[in-house]
Each structure stands twice: as C-alpha cells, then as structure tokens.
Amino acid sequence: GVLADLRLPIEADANLEIITRQSDEALDVLRHDCAHVLAEAAKELWPAIQVTIGPSIEDGFFYDFSKEEPFTPDDLEKLEKRMSEIVARDEAIERQVWDRQQAIDYFKSIGEHYKAEIIEDLPADEPISVYQQGEFIDLCRGPHLASTAQLGDAFKLMKVAGAYWRGDSRNEMLQRIYGTCWRNKKELKAYLHRLEEAEKRDHRRLGKEMDLFHFQEEAAGMPFWHPKGWNLYRTLERYMQGRLDDGGYKEVKTPQLVDRTLWEKSGHWEKFREHMYTTESEERIFALKPMNCPGHVQIYRQRLKSYRDLPLRLAEFGSCHRYEPSGALHGLMRVRAFTQDDAHIFCTEDQITSESQIFCDLLLSIYKDLGFEEVHVKFADRPEVRAGEDAVWDQAEDALMTALKATGLSFTMNPGEGAFYGPKLEFVLRDAIGREWQCGTLQVDFVLPERLDASYVGEDNARHRPVMLHRAILGSFERFIGVLIEHYAGRLPLWLSPVQIVIATITNEADAYAESVAAAMRAAGLRVEMDLRNEKIGYKVREHSLAKVPVIAAIGAREAEEGSLALRRLGDKGQEDVALADAIASLSKEGSLPGSGPGS
C-alpha cells in the first residue's frame, strides 16, 4: 500500500524539494518514476529493446520504445506484472552527474543510440544527469523518489500507439506505451471510472446514434451536418443571437477569402501563416480567414468614429479555417472548419474595465443557461512570439488585470499563453464528469488598432487609437456542441434538442389524431416528428430513446377518444397521461429558448 502522507526526501535527489504525496508536484514525480519503472521492466523482458524518452503527462505518462516486434495486449499485462515486481524490490533511485563523453560512450556501448543522440544535442554547459535503479540507468533531469517502493501500486498501462522519433515524420516510427499513475488506488479507480463515463459520452458515437453529423476523408476535419444536427446548431445560434442583441451587439459578416496583404498588415501572415489555407488567382495570393478580427477593423474604419460612438460592439458568427495536422483532428473537438462566436469591442482605455465586467456577466449567464455552473478563469500573459513593444504589453496586461480584479472573479495565472497581439482571460468550464474545457476568451489588444490604422476623434477633437477587446463565449459552435453532447450524455435540455417530441402511435386508428396533435404542437413552436409505423410501441420507444429524444407521446385509441397524450420522458420507466392543451402549454414553455416566450 501507499502511505497517506509520504514525504519525498531531499537527500534522495538534489533537485527534489520536500513535498507531500498529496501535492500536484508529487503526482508529477510519481508519474515520472512510473515511466522509468516501465522502461526498466521493458529492458528486463526484452533486453534488445531501445528506450528513448518517457515524460509525465496530464493524467499519466508515456515511454517511447524502439522494438522490432509490435507490443501486444499480453505484453502490456507482462509489463504491468514486472513493474509491480520492481516496486516490490524497493530499489534505491540514485542521481549521478556524468562526464558528457562518458555518458555518450556508455549509452552507445549498451546499444542505446537514441539516448546517445539526445546527449550529443544537449547544450555544452548542461550537466549530464542520470538516474540508476537496480541495474537500470536512464538519462534524466529528474527529480525522482528515493526508491521504487515509494511508487506504490496505483498505476495501469493503457494503450500502445505509434510515435515518430522526436515528433518528426521523417524519422523512425517508435512504439509508445501510455500509462496512468495516481497517488492511491482510490484515485486510480476514480480516473478509470471517468474514462468509462467519457467513452459512454463520446460525442462521435452519440452524434451517430442521434443522427447529428458525420466526417469523411474527402473533407477531413470538416463536419457534414445532418438535418437534426443542423437544427441543434441553429437553435444554439438563435439563442446566442438573442443574447447578443440584448447585450447591444451589432451583427456583421465579413469575407472568408482575403488578400494576403491584409494578413501581412495585421501580423497574422508572420505569426499564423502555417495554419492558414491559401489559394492563388490573377497573380494574387488569398487566404481563408483563420479569424475575424482584421475584417472587423475594416468595418470599423469605414466611417470616422467619435468617442460618442464608443463602445462599439461588432459580433460575427464567422466561418473560419485553420490547418490542423490530421493526427490532431478529433470529431467536433478539433476541426479545420469552424464557426467562431466572435465579437470585437472597440472602446477607449477608460472603458476597458466596465466593458470587461459587462462581458463577464454575459458569459457567466450564458454558461448557466447552457448547464455549466463551474467556471474557472485563467490570466494568460505575453507569449514568446508576439507583436508590439514591451511597453505596450505592460499597458495591456495592467489594463486587463485591473479589469479582472474589478469583476471579483477568482483566477489563476497561465504564463506565456496570451495571443500574439495581447493578453487574455481564458474561461474554463467543468462538465458533468469533472473534465475541464477552455471555451470563452477575452483579450485586450493595443496592437491591431495601430497596425490597421483604426482611430476615433476624442473630446479634444484629436485622433486617438481605440482599444480592441477580442471576445468569444462558445469559442466555436462545433467544439461547444461537442462539449454539450458529452456534458449531457446526449440528453440535451428540451429547448436545445433537435427533435423535442416524437408522437408514436400504438394503433393505426390513431393516425388522424396524431396528425392533428403534431400540427397543434408545431403551431406552438415545438419541434415534432411522427412515428406512424406498424411497429409495437415498445420497439418505437426503445429506438427513439437511443436517439435521445427527450419526450415520446404515445397515442392509441383511448388517447384519441379522450383528447390526451401518454407522455414518457427520456430515462423514465413510467408515463403520464396529460390533456393535449396542458401538454402543449407546458412543453412549449419548457422548449422555448431561455429568456424568451413560447414558440421562439
């Protein structure tokens, strides 16, 4: 077993501070140790194998191996068993600093050519740190625990995947073994349960069952929306349009294909070129827009603005394209074609704080309507690759931090993760099974207004640069719909469901009544389908439940005679007999967009 409050001793590793097992730092060390124990187990089972790199990652670790034969599921079981034996041996883990050439010669002598190559490429002044546990020696910066026994037994090998050496497709293909490691068995069990839940909620599987969308190789990373999926998309869009209208935004539309000269002026061509799709016509190079901001500045500049016109809030559900490597694509969560719920607020410096507060209130209200109560904020400051002078970044970061503190929201720092033109706030949602999704953003930008020559006339009758606040709430419709599907496990609230009610007949004699019920419900603004097939009602209920239809109205001879419905809610075993007028009144209210009346 694992001690509840194990302390990691400083004498075991000169790089390791004393930290408790409960801390995040300890978890990272445990996972790194687990990777080393995996490598040791692999070398014992297959002495000719070459080990390459094995870092800790989110929720676990991996190690890349060069091995002639592919790993099998049985091999993972053998490795796990051998890892447990190594833990039981209680091997001391000792750090040593070697001479560079000594290290290169050693790893070459035992056939570990990948390790030797890593050392050869290290900076000349970097110490060569190795760790030994038993007979196994690995190149590593550390830190590590004092012995293998401190690793405990809360680990599991998960899967094998391919990986190119150093991530370069021109290099050799290696075999990567992924594993997970936790502080105790309880945490491991909870993590594996989350994985099971995540698999059940996978939006790709549910999208197929609910007939919402599909992907195919001819348009990789670009969803084909089916009628039901597009209905869901448009419902979310109508809701967002209503909230933006109420929030004083003016909706615009900008071209998808723009000459490279605009992208050069904005700085996107230099900073973002590798992610942009381009085409050539009449000896000019055009790019599909990866984002909407330069287009919004062009609309802003068409009329001379006064300080009285500010703040000006321009919103667009803009179709964008970004090149993502094929291996990174993941259903709706990582796509190449997407629609941003984008907006840019042109304002004065004095208005940054008030506009930020208004935006945060709007964002939190929308997330609550969509079923997300837990929202965490991260402050992302200047990245290494950026536009603008340091003095401008100082000004932007100070302004955004002042605005954030004025909102009263708690936050953490996310160093170096700002946009290339300004610092940003990242809004992270927690879903029903505890996963986090970064969706909304708010960025303060002093750079683009300068580069694209946006101005306004101040009270002093002089020209001034406006500040641009870039902001998004959903981030992209595609990804957010994927998050919604997984958050609700497909059981969307009635107002969001693409099909809200299915009217299923028990007998053909009820067909005429079913037609009249459907007409009355559609007149009330409800999204209704009918199932008049000559099938048993139990079969119909099972089929529509699999498609996650929230309400099924069963109609037979009795319901037709009484003017009623037998309503069954998704997931409920029983049903409720309701008069038609009462059913329409309650369902149309529940099925309306939040903040709107029936029939919206």
In the numeric block, the tokens 């459907």 are attached to 518
- Within 13 Å, how many C-alpha atoms sit on residue 75's CB side? 17
Q: Among 163, 170, 180, which Cα is nearest to 66's?
A: 163
Q: For residues 340 and 267, what is the distance between their CA atoms, to the nearest angstrom?
A: 20
- Using alpha carbons, select from 269, 263, 339 the residue that is nearest to residue 298: 263
- Number of neighbouring beta carbons within 10 Å of residue 547: 19
Helix or strand or coil: residue 428? Answer: strand
Tokens of 507: 């007998």
Cis peptide bond N-terminal to 311, omega within 30: yes
Cβ-Cβ contacts under 8 Å for 449 (sequence gap 6 or more): 297, 346, 455, 465, 466, 467, 468
Q: 237 — alpha (psi -120 to 50), left (phi > 0) or beta?
A: alpha
Measuring CA to CA, how many Å separate 590 from each of 288, 414, 441, 524?
Answer: 40, 39, 30, 12
CA–CA separation, 523 vs 126, rounded Å? 74
Q: Which residue has the tokens 């704080």?
A: 353
Distance CA(161)–CA(562), nearest Å, equals 61
CB 599 within 8 A of CB 586: no
Question: Under a CB-based contact definition with an 8 Å cutoff, are residues 165 and 171 in contact?
Answer: yes
Query: DSSP characters for 268-311?
Result: HHHHHGGG--EEEETTEEEEE-S-SHHHHHHHHTTS-EEGGG-S
Question: What is the 3 state secondary structure string of 145-206?
Answer: CCEHHHHCCCEEEEEEEEEEHHHCCCCCEEEEEEEEECCCHHHHHHHHHHHHHHHHHCHHHH
Q: Residue 572: count other Cβ atoms within 10 Å of its Cβ.
A: 11
Which residues on adjacent β-strands are paired with residue 376? 428
How far apart CA 95 and CA 81 sit, in angstroms, is: 26
Residues marked active site are found at: 293, 322, 340, 342, 344, 424, 470
Give Cβ neighbours of residue 308 (< 8 Å, ≥ 6 apart): none
Do residues 396 and 382 touch, judged by C-beta distance below 8 A? no
Q: How far apart are CA 476 and CA 342, in angstroms?
A: 8
Structure tokens at 582: 């009462």
Task: Write the CB contacts of 96 (distance below 8 Å, at least 6 apart in sequence).
Answer: 129, 130, 131, 132
